[in-house]
Each structure stands twice: as structure tokens, then as C-alpha cells.
Amino acid sequence: MVMSIEQQTMKKVYLRLLPFCFVLYFICYLDRVNVGFAALTMNKDLGLSSYVFGLGAGAFFWSSSGSGRADG
């Protein structure tokens, strides 16, 4: 079976890009879980309600995603 240049290129892109995307997705998931665990004790220590913590976490998310920086 002869593959066109476009098919060969897309195969290489998929084989290199998709595993990296899965790793990034897993790291993002871990980061969200860590924020949730931090909220359990941090809210009590700082005297924050869950609503205020949600506002702060949302502000952090929107500012980091709006700035275009990958490290948050």
C-alpha cells in the first residue's frame, strides 16, 4: 500500500503529538485534584468560604488562560 505524502505526514504528527497531549491532559488533571485537596485545609486556615475560594480559583484560571502562559 502506497501512502501519499500527506498521509505519511499526518501519521507522524499523530504519533508524536497525541502521546504528548495525553501527558499534558494527565498533568492538568493532577493539578486540578491538588487544588481541590489544598482547598480542604486552606479554606479553614485562611477563613475562606467555599464561594470565595471558588471565585479565587476561577479568577486564577481565567487570568492564566487569558495570558496564554502554559504554566498557569
Each residue of 7-65: pLDDT tens digit? Answer: 999 999 999 999 998 998 888 788 778 888 888 888 888 898 989 988 888 887 777 66
pTM for this predicted structure? 0.54
| pLDDT score, position 32 | 78
* Residue of 56 and 72 predicted with greater confidence: 56
In a domain? residue 68: yes
Question: Does a structural domain hold residue 58?
Answer: yes
Give the whole-angstrom CA distance, residue 57 versus residue 31: 12
Domain ranges, residue 58: 48-72
First-to-final CA distance of the chain: 45
Residue 67 lies in a domain: yes
Q: How many domains does the chain have?
A: 1
Report if residue 53 sits inside a domain.
Answer: yes
